[in-house]
Chains A and B, each alone.
Chain A
Amino acid sequence: MKGRVICAVIAALLPGIGSLGAVPSAEARVSLEKCTLCHGKPEFRKILVDGKIRDLFVTADTLKGSVHEKKTCVDCHFDISEIPHRERPRRIACTHCHYKGNAEGAPQSDAYLAYFDSVHGKAIAKGNSKAPLCQDCHGNHNILKAKNPEAAVARTKVAETCGRCHIEIYAQYKTSIHGVALGKGIVEAPSCTGCHGEHKIYGHEDPKSTVYATHVADQCSKCHASVSVMGKFGIETEQVATYKESFHGVASQFGSRTVANCASCHGTHDIRPAEDPLSSVNPKNVPKTCGKCHPGANPNFAVGKMHIDAKKKEAGIVYYVASFFKYLTIGTMLALIAHIFLDMYGRTRRLRGEK
């Protein structure tokens, strides 16, 4: 059933696929030279209804350096079969080539299937023309491999790409600890995709989402519980473990969606170090942050360390009291057992003496 839906979506996205049989033969194909007759003029542009200018200038160098540099215009704009074309070309359907088992030699992956299930793919399927297709993130004529640092989806660039639509979030992220770190060239710092995933991006209220309330701690712990990553920056790695031992963490592990997760206190796109006065976990802001769930929270909430592990010496008095009780309990058990055996022994003697 699901497969059928996806097929239907693909079919809807690929209006050109129906006319696949009618693809013109190689001789009849429109050559690059013919396109540049018009598109090769630098002033070739169109003023759109909303006043924006669409640059239509294309030359033989446009695809140069991109992954598609050996392709020609109509490989993607396959709905153009006559020059000059009378209608505006349709949006490009990358799945024309990029599907598993394609004969074109295009990279084969199921990424597009993941995309169709994602929040963006679903929005497209619902008819939201503003939702992004492949080319909106990966670029159009200038597509580069994701590993290429210049690619629109490269780790250091992807936030900017997402930010073209998600403007406010991008602004928050850019000044957050993660955004600043990435800006400084620290590649370990997460960009949008680091937390939200790449093609499988879901809304945060979708249980499949990596940032769904009960998944947040696991998602953060991918980096924050790793000594090899955090060690480089002198950040503690126990924060996730201590969270999981806390009331919040236990409730979250057992499926509570209203209990605090990492993001509830530290923020999401606007995470900042605690020393930063704008940070939601800065002592000054703690009453407000805790107050979201604990009405009437006061500055006393900021007194003391939040993340503690009673099993470690760093917890101070909590550790020592816990150890004291541990040995008290063991001692009590041993004393009780000793008393029981002694008393039984005595009782046997007492019975013998009486009889």
Chain B
Amino acid sequence: MIETHEEHGPDCTCGCHDHKHHHDHDHAHNHGHHHEGAHERTVGLAWADVTLESHVHEQASTVSATIRAHVGSGKTFGALVGALQSIALQVESCGAIVGHIKAYARVGEEFAHASATDAQHEPACDGNIELALGPDVQCQFVAIALLIDLAELERIVVGALG
């Protein structure tokens, strides 16, 4: 796995999160809501490059991923459905609460999407889950969970996608 930190270099010693990279803005708002710890990085998986944007909003840890699959990745959208289930299971195993986990892919007229809100039910799917993932496919993935550390959620998401 290769990580590219877009704002902090590999020698960064800021100490924020386990990947030593942050862009922290802790807004104080009119009724106490917070949006903090936002950062972006690119992770190189064997089958895709994944750009992650992560932050905490109130109690909700949020990881958004834009996935660019390699040529001949060998992956279909079904692999993302499996990742949804895996993330839901791991989040609940931590005692945390799944907000929602969603995946979407489109190329030309073909699309697929899936969502999960817990580990007890199969993800809801629509479209063609056999859609082959390649560099021409627009592909997004979002995981939101509560009562879980942001770095832990990010680790779970990257592990499930990998």
Report if A and B associate in a common complex: no
Residues of A near any B CB (own CB < 8 A)? none
Residues of B near any A CB (own CB < 8 A)? none
